[in-house]
Structure 1
Amino acid sequence: MSKIAALLKPTSIAVIGASNNSQRIGYIVIRNLLSGCFNGPIIPVTPKYTAVAGILAYRNIDAMPITPDIAILCTRAEFNPDIITQLGEKGVKTVIIIAATMMSASSDSNAINYHQQILINAKRHNMRIIGPNSMGIILPWLNLNASVSPITANKGNIAFISQSAAVCTTILDWAQNKQIGFSTFISLGDACDINFAELLDFLSQDTKTDAILLYIDSINDARQFMSAARAAARNRRILVLKSGRTMAGRAAALLHTIGEGGLDEVYDAAIRRSGMLRVHTTHDLFAAVETLAHSVPLRGERLVILTNGGGPAIMAVDALSDRGGKLATLSADTIQRLSAVLPAYWSQANPIDIMGDANSDRYRQVLTILLDSDDFDALLIMHSPSAITNSTDTAKIITETLHQHPRSQRINVLTNWSGENEAAEARSIFTQARLPTYRTPESAISAFMHLVEYRRNQRQLMETPVSIGEISADLHYVRNEIHRLLQQNIHRLETHEIRPLLTSYGFTTLPTWIASDAAEAVHIAEQIGYPVAVKLRSADIRHKSEIHGVVLYLRDANEVANAADAILSRVALHYPSARIDGLLIQRMADRSGAQELRIGIRNDPVFGPVIILGEETIHWNIERDAVVALPPLNMALARYMVINALKHHKIKQRSSLEQISIPALSRLLVTISQMIIDCPEIRAFDIHPLLVSGNELTIIDASMDIAEFDGDIQQRLAIRPYPKEYEQPCQLKDGKQILLRPILPEDEPAHKAFINQVSEEDLYKRFFSDVGELNHEALAKFTQIDYDREMAFVAVYQDMIIGVARALSDADNTEAEFAILVRSDMKGCGLGGILMTKLIDYAHQQRLARLTGMTMPTNRGMITLAQKMGFSIDVQLADGVVEMLLELNHH
């Protein structure tokens, strides 16, 4: 993070290729640096001039009097690899390569080679790169405009990171007009080195940043991105505008980046899973920015609409209903108080229509009554042009009333002043008062729903999953069977071949027999009983329905023989060169009242294995017919996936069919997720169909592609799964057998019970304050961790948690801060030492440089344990703390 700090908190800057020519980038960068009044040395480097913009220039990099924190390259692309080397030898650690110096990314091989050479030269000197193809950076709180943008950014609380320079300038121009400011403004360009993940890690801890906006063309390191995004989204509100929603858009995006494409639905799933909110258009982004700039976190979703016109209010309600929003219900007391100041014929409900003859004083009276109530969580104030009252005067009264009322600081207030000329000045008043204002009812509702959807997503992600116990597949058998098939050079498996694997995981499947011809098919059908299904078996024909290769409900020998002969004849006619491996015979499953779903596993080029859920259709298209989720799944996340599929009509609950059991389907998805984790050789898996009838789920047909996996098993998933390899049985001094294992989200109830059995004194020593009753949000943060950057080992005895040891790594993964808590009645049995040993072993495995911790001087037990384990102890009497440090020497 130190190099990111050098980028975002620089004290000196060099401009390589500085110029006095106003048409050159080197001139624009120097001009912007000077106009921003940056309080630090600016060092122009150029062989052409002795001074640039009145500042002494230096002929070459060696001549620079100091080593700057940042060097900005305004030079031609072919010179940049050598310049990187020279800067590295000078000791420069951060470089920004400006947009116009980048060669065309449409020449893929040239661009990739160029990036590789830059990175090779930079890594030799432990240097970090922004760009190439960057517009630069703007840090308003440092008065730093180190960019080529013709527009600067005002001071504010929003950080913006973009891969597109054009989007940067568009946002800046719009924000200037709206008087919206930024804490940080970064153009990543091609992001060949410093990426979204590293910046998210830094900005999520930045006190000047309350919200973060991302414009993404593509992601290169999905695992790093997901880990950083999940951590940042718990501390900051993050909105994402992702381009390439369509196939044509993805193709266009790849012309401007060197990343891989990946399905848009997978990006959508990744953004949701990380806790961020996606917007789909620039218009939505503008609305979201304005809302974020002037909003507080929602406490609830109840919206009150105050209006002087019924029509616009109805449009707002329609938009709210379409997006799944909630109107607040007015209390009897509020209605009574409003009735005292409004005409007798007012609506007496929400929306509150105060009539077209409402003057500014009526707005003031109603607004005051509403602010005195606790009936709502957000307020939309609307105004349509009126001959009775002046819209500007009304806007002034509203801002004054809000400013004077203490509750206005705790709720979100949005405004919609309709019209153009009549409303322009009023909207300007709201902008100056830092109140979000919108031109249409629909855009105001859209902005409000961004806040609602963000809150809902965060709450759903923090839901405590139901524990279903360990999925007990015979993993030894499964691994051996896959290995055997691969040794026989078998890579495509059909239903009958994968049935033993599926049965091992507890899936219900139909027995399947193989027939070589029509006669054998009849013989099998007579043995298993009618009705039966006859299906083509051919590795060369994947979509059997295209040639009617599946015939169902065959009720006697003649029907079976005719169907078998017809299938084989059609293959011979249409696919004469296809291999025919026989026919599959299955007894028909009872489909009365059942629904046919399709579930699959695909390997996305960016995010790796993903799970897909939808209805079975003939021409199945993932983008159109399915929802997507990233493994690993627990019951809460799987339930969220099913509900999402129902909500977006990827699965339809039909009244004529038995209702789908969401818990049963969720458990099946969790099991598939575990199968992905267990078996890296699975490249694709398709259940088509899955027959669902209430709680009964039966796999009718399935196929699987397998291949040797020679990559890093730990890195193949975008989110690190539960690290079972850390489970360890141990014995306490008194002989009790315990299990040390990583914490799980399902542990929340047990963790709460554990905290309740720790004395107040011990909790105070651990948390440095009175803890009190921990709510769900606090407990979720303890139990729902990212195993990539945090670890918590729980000691479990007879299904009870009796101790916890935690290690939270920094973003650079160089050191971790630890903490240990033991149930008060379990002290003295050696558990603290067992937990500390486990943490130290973990730190060595992660190749951390050091473990650090902090405790109180009165916590003699912790201090003695740390000393025994080799920690150095530093007593800070002035601060009343004891610092503990263990050097591990891995960096």
Structure 2
Amino acid sequence: MSVRHLDALFAPRSVAVVGVNARPGNIGALVLRNLKHGGFAGTIRAVDRVRGEVEGTEVLASVDALAEPPDLAVVCTPAAAVPDVIAELGRRGTRAAIVLSAGLRQPSAERVATAEQRMLEAARPHLLRILGPNCIGLLVPGLGLNASFAPAQALAGSIAFVTQSGALATAMLDWANTQGIGFSHFVSMGDSADVDFGDVLDYLGSDGNTRAILMYMESVKHARKFMSAARAAARNKPVILVKAGRAPEGARAAASHTGALAGSDLVFDAAVRRAGLVRVDTLEALFSAAATLAHPTPWIGERLAIVTNGGGAGVLAADALALGHGPLAALAPETLARLDAVLPAGWPRANPVDIHGDAPVERYHAALQVLLQAHEVDGVLFMHAPTAVVDSLAIAEACGPLLKEARKPVLSCWLGGASVRAARMLFGAEGFSTHSTPEQAVDAWLQLLQYHRHQAALLQLPDAQPAELRPDRATAEDIVARARRDGREWLDEAQAKAVLQAYGIATVPTRKARDAEDAVAAAHALGYPVALKVISPQILHKSDVGGVALNLGSADEVRSAAVRMRQRVARLSPQAQVSGFTVQTMAQRPRAHELIAGIATDPVFGPIVLFGSGGIDVELMQDRALALPPLNAVLARDLVARTRIGPRLATGWRGRAPVNEPALLRALQQVAQIACDLPGVAELDINPLLADAEGVLALDARIRVRPQDEGDASRLALRPYPAELEETANLGGQQLLLRPIRPEDGERLAEFYAAATPSDLRLRFFLSRREVPLSELARYCQIDYEREMTFVAIAGDAIAGEVRAICDPDNEQAEFAIQVAGGWQRRGLGRVLMDKLVAYLRGRGTGAIVGECLQENAGMAALARSAGFSVKTGADDVLQLRLTLAAPS
């Protein structure tokens, strides 16, 4: 990812439009007109092969004729001319361009490379960034910048809107202007040949003028880049998106249940959830989000109270809330008593609060006042349908000041048309979230609820001492590698179970047999009763061809079953080559739940983990949830909770005891670890995975391997814990473990900061504090290994020191901080940690390490100097620390 030169794109001081002429409908002329009418204060220039004058601006014959290079160029030439224009701009020193031209991806008969490829090659030597091609352009209303051919200007505001659809961009702009909603940035992405969603999210996520980000997406190109940028942005502000393609794409008959169940849109949902984004289903919901986010609201909790003058509207709102899994506030007795005092006798005494259709202005005001003061109410939805009793505008004028002072979110719904238009406009002008239907208003509340749920999820920390997952990775890799060398697509069942056992997942004892007599011998060794299953690379769903026999209690039963099984397979699947059988001990777990767990590979997001209800009716049940690996206990628990069977596993059901949750979560973490460790595994299917109070047991498993020529890139969307960076160090005769921080370190880190002196905390955080809040602890432990790193020194079970660095998206520099526990200071631990960080950043090609410390922090300054840093006094007498690692590119 890169934000390099995006300042020239989003905050230029000069703009040149290339491809401007006086012909009717010329796109360049439209862009030039928009730039001039938008109020852009910088220099505006025009270029075309034919000199002249357009919109009162002189048109120069070439880029070279410009007196100085523009910060931003808007290219409106035919597709074939774009690469040469970009090359000229790059040579002149322009660092950003918007290419509006379409058709750059069309193959050329004369050239092997497309115009888009040649455009990128022309830009690369100059690090010139390109938005587009095939887009309508960019608007930054706060700067008066309208570098687009959009049919209207945008109002200034604090919401950024980013879209891959030009048509949607113009529709959103038109709608927003009628609603009085403004934007900090309005970006049409087009084909995203260079600048993509990851780049824009990185820029807008740290932009102080942007309070929320709305996106319309059709595809993701670089999953890890997108996820890293999205996670960073979502920690700072709401990011809400709608994505086309809800229907299954490229549905196929998959050989494994997991592969069949893992649809691409479900994977995208899992990615959005993991990143902390909010996804809505429709453009209407996205517009609703724009209306809601345009007006900042405090957040207390999820319990919503509805006040309405129409019972039917209240029921519709309550239904929509229930369907969206949002809680309706249960009114407390004292709240009901206060409402009794201001509402007419016979009101329903329940939420929704129906104040009746004859309600005067005073009744609205009094009911709202009670609900805004009720401790059990976290937010209020105010709804009004027009009546002849009272003017809607009078209600808005009377209630507006009360709602303006509210310390909890308030949403409004004015049902109707012309008779409520004035009231709706007044509320909108006052900054209230205003909607036209109960469903729209509730959707807005659910969007806020979902966003805050995701933010809360980001603060959850796993148990401090998880069970260590130390698999026999070498054994599993060897099994997969042999299958790939032999050109086999599927492991047989015994091999698949051997992989599971290498990762600590319990399986039933299994032996392979060549023929019926060999199967009898295996059954004797295992003990009766046993299960017999056919082995054939052409047969994956054994039960479909009678390839499974259960509860065989004697040698005669095993022998007979083997003979009949071969006969059935020969009749039902004559092309199948039977190489033998597997013989397994029958699992005696009659009260166990049949579950499914597995791995599938998404073409964009790579490996994914699936969990849900299993058994032979797994496709019929359609009860599953997906997650991106790696998983910790918190994420695994969330994966289970998102299935219909999840609550039953936790509480028990129909006489079944609750399952052993730690064992189930551990198994899911181990499945995710396989996805991270074994890039040769394309699909893994454990069905059924038995789960009960005793634990979990894999009854059947199949694994599909990736062909050798596909390479070993696992294409993980999230970089997993880098265990290869662990090492031990001996300091003064005491052994220390140096390793990257993990989410499970939250409790250790809290204890580490709690044990620090107030002076140490002030030197570390530049402010006096008694403790580090949970939000910071979660952020410090749940790091994105793709762009940041924290090394901790573990002595016994406690953190003795930490050093952390956050790299900018271009990896040009990393900002570091370091702290050592009081008992370990002046013993050399700081230098050990610093050396490890420097070596790591140098290895990843980071340009420089920078930091700051207070002048009084003599120990930090001395440590920095000893490690080769320059130490200079900066503003406010703060010392600036810098170590150059690599020459800038």
User: What interval of TM-score do these two structures reach, taking the shorter chain for normalisation?
Assistant: over 0.9
- Does the residue aligned with 1:212 lie in a helix, a strand or coil? strand
Report the TM-score when normalising by structure 1. 0.93
Superposed displacement of residue 885, structure 1: 1.0
Contact 1:338/1:366 (CA < 8 Å) preserved in 2?
yes
Q: Which runs of no fewer than 5 residues in structure 1 stay unpaired?
A: 252-260
Residue of structure 2 equivalent to 1:700: 699
Contact 2:27/2:76 (CA < 8 Å) preserved in 1?
yes
Q: Which amino acid aligns with 1:169?
A: T
Residue of structure 2 equivalent to 1:574: 572
Residue of structure 1 equivalent to 2:9: 7
The 1:497–1:167 alpha-carbon spacing in structure 2 relative to 1, beyond 3 Å, is same
Residue of structure 2 equivalent to 1:501: 499
Contact 1:627/1:650 (CA < 8 Å) preserved in 2?
no
Superposed displacement of residue 866, structure 1: 0.9
Residue of structure 2 equivalent to 1:199: 200
- Does the residue aligned with 1:589 lie in a helix, a strand or coil? coil
Q: Which residues in structure 2 correspond to 1:110-509 (within 5 Å)?
A: 113-247=114-248, 263-403=264-404, 405=405, 408=406, 410-466=407-463, 467-509=465-507
Contact 1:307/1:351 (CA < 8 Å) preserved in 2?
yes
Residue of structure 1 equivalent to 2:90: 88
Residue of structure 2 equivalent to 1:597: 595
- Does the residue aligned with 2:506 lie in a helix, a strand or coil? coil
**Cα displacement string for residues 22-74 of structure 1 (whole angstroms, at most 9, x for unaligned residues):** 31211211111111011111111012341111101101111111101111111
**Cα displacement string for residues 484-530 of structure 1 (whole angstroms, at most 9, x for unaligned residues):** 44444444212212333322222111122333444544554455444
Residue of structure 2 equivalent to 1:69: 71
The 1:230–1:110 alpha-carbon spacing in structure 2 relative to 1, beyond 3 Å, is farther
Residue of structure 2 equivalent to 1:679: 678
* 1-structure distance, mates of 2:740, 2:358: 65
User: Is 1:881 matched up with 2:878?
Assistant: yes
Superposed displacement of residue 854, structure 1: 0.4
The 1:554–1:658 alpha-carbon spacing in structure 2 relative to 1, beyond 3 Å, is farther
Q: Which amino acid aligns with 1:755?
A: Y
* 2-structure distance, mates of 1:166, 1:273: 30
Contact 1:602/1:609 (CA < 8 Å) preserved in 2?
yes
Contact 1:599/1:690 (CA < 8 Å) preserved in 2?
yes
The 1:713–1:854 alpha-carbon spacing in structure 2 relative to 1, beyond 3 Å, is farther
* 2-structure distance, mates of 1:328, 1:420: 29
Residue of structure 2 equivalent to 1:761: 759
The 1:493–1:344 alpha-carbon spacing in structure 2 relative to 1, beyond 3 Å, is same
* 2-structure distance, mates of 1:109, 1:331: 77
* 2-structure distance, mates of 1:677, 1:270: 16
Q: Which amino acid aligns with 2:75?
A: L
The 1:112–1:785 alpha-carbon spacing in structure 2 relative to 1, beyond 3 Å, is farther
Residue of structure 2 equivalent to 1:815: 813
* 2-structure distance, mates of 1:603, 1:175: 40
Residue of structure 1 equivalent to 2:730: 731
Superposed displacement of residue 684, structure 1: 1.7
Residue of structure 2 equivalent to 1:855: 853
Q: Which amino acid aligns with 2:67?
A: P
Contact 2:483/2:491 (CA < 8 Å) preserved in 1?
no
Q: Which runs of no fewer than 5 residues in structure 2 stay unpaired?
A: 253-261
Superposed displacement of residue 648, structure 1: 8.8
**Cα displacement string for residues 808-853 of structure 1 (whole angstroms, at most 9, x for unaligned residues):** 1112111011111111232111111111111211221121111111
Residue of structure 2 equivalent to 1:46: 48
* 2-structure distance, mates of 1:680, 1:535: 28
**Cα displacement string for residues 101-123 of structure 1 (whole angstroms, at most 9, x for unaligned residues):** 33577999999833222211111
* 2-structure distance, mates of 1:21, 1:312: 54
Superposed displacement of residue 716, structure 1: 2.5
Contact 2:805/2:817 (CA < 8 Å) preserved in 1?
yes
Contact 2:285/2:443 (CA < 8 Å) preserved in 1?
yes
* 2-structure distance, mates of 1:492, 1:2: 45
Residue of structure 1 equivalent to 2:259: none
More displaced stretch, 706-715 vs 577-586: 706-715
* 1-structure distance, mates of 2:20, 2:587: 76
Report the TM-score when normalising by structure 2. 0.93
- Does the residue aligned with 1:493 lie in a helix, a strand or coil? coil
* 2-structure distance, mates of 1:227, 1:873: 32
Give the paired residue count: 875
Contact 2:680/2:712 (CA < 8 Å) preserved in 1?
no
- Does the residue aligned with 2:132 lie in a helix, a strand or coil? strand
Q: Which amino acid aligns with 1:92?
A: T
- Does the residue aligned with 1:247 lie in a helix, a strand or coil? coil
Residue of structure 2 equivalent to 1:785: 783
**Cα displacement string for residues 216-275 of structure 1 (whole angstroms, at most 9, x for unaligned residues):** 111111111111111110001001111111136999xxxxxxxxx981111110010000
The 1:282–1:617 alpha-carbon spacing in structure 2 relative to 1, beyond 3 Å, is farther
* RMSD over equivalenced CA pairs, Å: 2.7
Q: Which amino acid aligns with 1:120?
A: E
Superposed displacement of residue 141, structure 1: 0.5
* 1-structure distance, mates of 2:175, 2:54: 32
* 2-structure distance, mates of 1:361, 1:85: 69
Contact 1:157/1:209 (CA < 8 Å) preserved in 2?
yes
Contact 2:615/2:687 (CA < 8 Å) preserved in 1?
no
* 2-structure distance, mates of 1:273, 1:712: 27
**Cα displacement string for residues 352-380 of structure 1 (whole angstroms, at most 9, x for unaligned residues):** 22222211122122323433444422110
More displaced stretch, 166-175 vs 108-117: 108-117
Residue of structure 2 equivalent to 1:258: none
Residue of structure 2 equivalent to 1:60: 62
Superposed displacement of residue 125, structure 1: 2.2
* 1-structure distance, mates of 2:710, 2:805: 27
The 1:369–1:486 alpha-carbon spacing in structure 2 relative to 1, beyond 3 Å, is closer
Q: Which amino acid aligns with 1:867?
A: R
Contact 1:533/1:552 (CA < 8 Å) preserved in 2?
yes
* 2-structure distance, mates of 1:349, 1:624: 37
More displaced stretch, 671-680 vs 717-726: 671-680
* 1-structure distance, mates of 2:272, 2:680: 26
More displaced stretch, 764-773 vs 418-427: 418-427
Superposed displacement of residue 387, structure 1: 2.5
* 2-structure distance, mates of 1:853, 1:689: 53
* 1-structure distance, mates of 2:673, 2:849: 32
- Does the residue aligned with 1:444 lie in a helix, a strand or coil? helix
The 1:574–1:480 alpha-carbon spacing in structure 2 relative to 1, beyond 3 Å, is closer
Superposed displacement of residue 659, structure 1: 3.6
Residue of structure 2 equivalent to 1:257: none
The 1:439–1:798 alpha-carbon spacing in structure 2 relative to 1, beyond 3 Å, is same
Contact 2:487/2:707 (CA < 8 Å) preserved in 1?
no
Contact 1:612/1:622 (CA < 8 Å) preserved in 2?
no
The 1:113–1:103 alpha-carbon spacing in structure 2 relative to 1, beyond 3 Å, is closer
- Does the residue aligned with 1:289 lie in a helix, a strand or coil? helix
- Does the residue aligned with 2:876 lie in a helix, a strand or coil? coil
* 1-structure distance, mates of 2:113, 2:244: 21
The 1:495–1:609 alpha-carbon spacing in structure 2 relative to 1, beyond 3 Å, is same
Superposed displacement of residue 335, structure 1: 3.7
Contact 2:107/2:114 (CA < 8 Å) preserved in 1?
no
* 2-structure distance, mates of 1:338, 1:617: 53
Q: Which amino acid aligns with 1:179?
A: G
Q: Which amino acid aligns with 1:854?
A: E
The 1:624–1:380 alpha-carbon spacing in structure 2 relative to 1, beyond 3 Å, is same
